[in-house]
Amino acid sequence: MYNIAKTILAAEKVLKRIKETKGNISFPINPFELLKDIGAIITYSNFDKLEGLLLYDKKKSVVAINMNRQITRQRFTAAHELGHILMHTQVHSNNFLCPISGIKNDIEKEADSFASNLLMPTEELNKQVDMYQDKDGKVGMDECLLIAEYFGVSFEACVKTICFRLKRFEKDLDNVELTKEIKKYRPTTKRKELFESTTDLNLLMNAVDYSYFSIVNLNEIIGIRFIQNLVYHDSRIEKVNVTKEEVNGIFADLRIHGSESEYCKSENQNIIEALGNIEMNQYCIETKEELDIFKIKDLNKMLYKYAPYPEYAGMYRNSDNMILGGKIQPVPYTEIIDKMNELNKVIQSVKENIDKYSISEYVSIVAGIHYNMTILHPFNDGNGRITRGLTNWLLRLKKLCPIYIDSDNRDEYLEALQKIDQDGNTELLQTIIIKSMMKVMAELHESW
Ligand SMILES: [Zn+2]
C-alpha cells in the first residue's frame, strides 16, 4: 500500500541530518551530494523509457540517470533513487527500474513522494508561497516560476505540488486540466524572459561534482567507438565532409597498416584531414607526455600530417585574422608567442593545483583555456580541432572523460563561442562541456 506518511518522514529525516551536519538547510537541496554521501556511484545513461536505474549494494550502489532529461528532472530522479535506497531496499529488491511514464506501482509512487518532499519540503514551500501570495493566500503561474527556480525543480512539478499538496494554486483544477494549463503557459519561453541565465549551469555543476566520470581506454571496443564518434562529429563541425563509415574504415585501416594505409596517400582533402584528426585525438587522449601549451604545434603537425604541404604544418600564422561579427578579435600575430607564454603559466599552475579543484571548478577553468585559445587563434587552420583536442587532454589530466561536440549541436557550440567573443562569458560553453561529459559516460556503458 502506498504510504505517504512514511515518505514524508523519510524526507524529513534526511533534512534533519543536513541541518545537523551543515548547521542549516540551503536550497536547492543537492540530491547528488546526498547519494554520494551514502556511497552511491552516480552515472548517466541514454535511457529510452527510464528516468533512472538503481543497482543497490550495501556499500556501493550504482545510480544511473537519464542523460536526455533536463537537469531539474535529473535532480528529481536522483532524489527518487535516494528514496528507494532509504525506504525500499531492505524489503523489496536490489534493483529498481524507474519508468518515465505509465502506471506506477506503489514503490514508484513512494519514491516520487519522497523526492518531492525532499526537494520541496512543505514548510519551506509554504514560506515561499507566503512571499508571493495574493489576498486569498494563493499563487499563479508567474509566481510558481520563481518558486521552481528557488527549489531547483521543474516548473510542472512545482505547480502541481503547490496545487495538490498545498492547495494554494489560484485555480482549482484536476491533474489533466492543470497539465493543459501548464503547456499553454509556455514555461520555457516565460523563463527566458524572466531570467538572464537559463542554462541551469549551477544545478549542473552541483550534479557533476558528485558524479562518476572515467577516462577512456582506446584499446577497448568502447574506446574505439568513442574515437570514431569523436572524429566523425569533430570533422563535421569544421565542415570536413566524411561519413561515419568512412571514419570507421580509415580508423580500422590505420590500425592495421599504420602510415602504410592506402588512405594516407589519398588526395581527397576530407579523408586527409579526418586521418590527421584521428591521430591528433588519439594522441590527446593517450599521451603520457607533459602538457604545455607549445604542444599545440605538434597537434597542428599531426592534424596536417597527410596534407599536400606538411612542411607548413605546425607553423604559427604570420598575418592577422578577423573573426566575423566578433567583438573580441584574435591577437595580432606578432603577439602570439607572448600570449602563449602567458597561457602556459596558467596551464602549469592548473596542473600543479589540479587535485584542489572540484569537477565543476575544473570545467570552468578548461572553458577559460578554451576561450584563450580562441583568442590566440595561433594557426591559419585547424584551431578549432586543436582547441578541442587540448580540451580533452586537460580533462584527462583530472581523470575526466574526453568529450566531443555532437555535430547536430554545431549551432549551439558556435553560439557559445560567439558569446565568449562578445563578452567573455563562458557559461554556455561550460554547460556544453558538462552535458557532453554526461553523454559520453552514457555511451561508455551503452550495454546497460
Ligand atoms: Zn523508482
Ligand 1 centroid–CA 53 distance in Å is: 7
Nearest by Cα to 40 from 215, 212, 155: 212
In this structure, which topology does domain 221-444 adopt according to CATH? Fic-like fold (1.10.3290)
Q: Mean pLDDT throughout 330-348?
A: 94
Ligand 1 centroid–CA 63 distance in Å is: 11
Ligand 1 centroid–CA 98 distance in Å is: 4
Ligand 1 centroid–CA 13 distance in Å is: 20
Ligand 1 centroid–CA 107 distance in Å is: 7
pLDDT of residue 35: 97
Q: Three-class SS of residue 169? A: strand
Ligand 1 centroid–CA 148 distance in Å is: 22
CB neighbours of residue 197 within 10 Å: 12
Contacting residues for 290 by C-beta, under 8 A, at least 6 apart: none
7-21, 150-164, 226-240, 391-405 — which is least confidently predicted?
226-240
Nearest by Cα to 432 from 243, 208, 128: 208
pLDDT of residue 198: 59
52: β partners: 65, 98
Q: Three-class SS of residue 61? A: coil
Ligand 1 centroid–CA 222 distance in Å is: 28
Ligand 1 centroid–CA 158 distance in Å is: 20
163/172 Cα distance (integer angstroms):
8
pTM for this predicted structure: 0.93
Ligand 1 centroid–CA 129 distance in Å is: 29
50/68 Cα distance (integer angstroms):
10
Instruction: At 83, list the grid cell.
Output: 528514496
Q: What is the residue-averaged pLDDT of the chain?
A: 92
In this structure, which topology does domain 4-119 adopt according to CATH? Arc Repressor Mutant, subunit A (1.10.10)
Ligand 1 centroid–CA 160 distance in Å is: 19
Ligand 1 centroid–CA 119 distance in Å is: 16
Contacting residues for 254 by C-beta, under 8 A, at least 6 apart: 261, 263, 264, 275, 278, 279
217 vs 349: which has the higher pLDDT: 349
DSSP sequence for 257-323: HGGGSGGGG---HHHHHHHHHHHHHHHHHH--SPP-GGGHHHHHHHHTTTSS-GGGTTPPP-S----
Ligand 1 centroid–CA 31 distance in Å is: 15
Whether the pLDDT of residue 323 is over 80: the answer is: no
Upper half-sphere CA count for residue 187 (Cβ side, 13 Å): 22
340/390 Cα distance (integer angstroms):
14
Ligand 1 centroid–CA 80 distance in Å is: 6
Angle at 48 between CA 44 and CA 50, to 5 degrees: 65
98: β partners: 52
Whether the pLDDT of residue 448 is over 60: the answer is: no
96: β partners: 54
Indicate the residue type of 346: V
413 vs 421: which has the higher pLDDT: 413
User: How far is C-alpha 190 from the chain's CA centre?
Assistant: 24
Cα torsion 187, 191, 192, 194: sign: positive
Contact criterion met (CB below 8 Å) for 23 and 48:
no
Ligand 1 centroid–CA 35 distance in Å is: 14
Ligand 1 centroid–CA 108 distance in Å is: 5
User: Quick one: pLDDT band at residue 447, thresholds 50, 70, 90?
Assistant: low
Ligand 1 centroid–CA 25 distance in Å is: 25
50-91 confidence digits (pLDDT tens) = 999 999 998 899 999 999 999 999 999 999 999 999 999 877
Whether the pLDDT of residue 199 is over 70: the answer is: no
Measured N-to-C along each axis, helices 201-208 and 71-87 cross at an angle, to the nearest 10 degrees, of 40
Ligand 1 centroid–CA 12 distance in Å is: 19
Q: Mean pLDDT throughout 16-20?
A: 97
CB neighbours of residue 190 within 10 Å: 14
Ligand 1 centroid–CA 84 distance in Å is: 7
SS3 content of the chain, % helix, strand, coil (to 5): 60, 5, 35
Upper half-sphere CA count for residue 359 (Cβ side, 13 Å): 21
Strand order of the β-sheet with 41-45 is 41-45, 62-66, 50-55, 95-99
Ligand 1 centroid–CA 73 distance in Å is: 13
Q: What percent of the chain has pLDDT over 90?
A: 75
Terminal C-alpha separation, the chain? 30
> What is the C-alpha radius of gyration for the chain, rounded to an integer number of angstroms?
25
Ligand 1 centroid–CA 272 distance in Å is: 49
256/248 Cα distance (integer angstroms):
13
pLDDT of residue 104: 84
Ligand 1 centroid–CA 156 distance in Å is: 19
Ligand 1 centroid–CA 76 distance in Å is: 11
User: How far is C-alpha 446 from the chain's CA centre?
Assistant: 17
Q: How far is CA 114 from CA 109, 189, 203, 380, 439, in A?
A: 9, 30, 20, 56, 27
Ligand 1 centroid–CA 50 distance in Å is: 9
Ligand 1 centroid–CA 105 distance in Å is: 9
> Domain map of the chain by residue range?
4-119, 122-198, 221-444
Ligand 1 centroid–CA 64 distance in Å is: 11
Ligand 1 centroid–CA 264 distance in Å is: 52
112-147 confidence digits (pLDDT tens) = 999 999 999 999 999 999 999 999 999 999 999 999
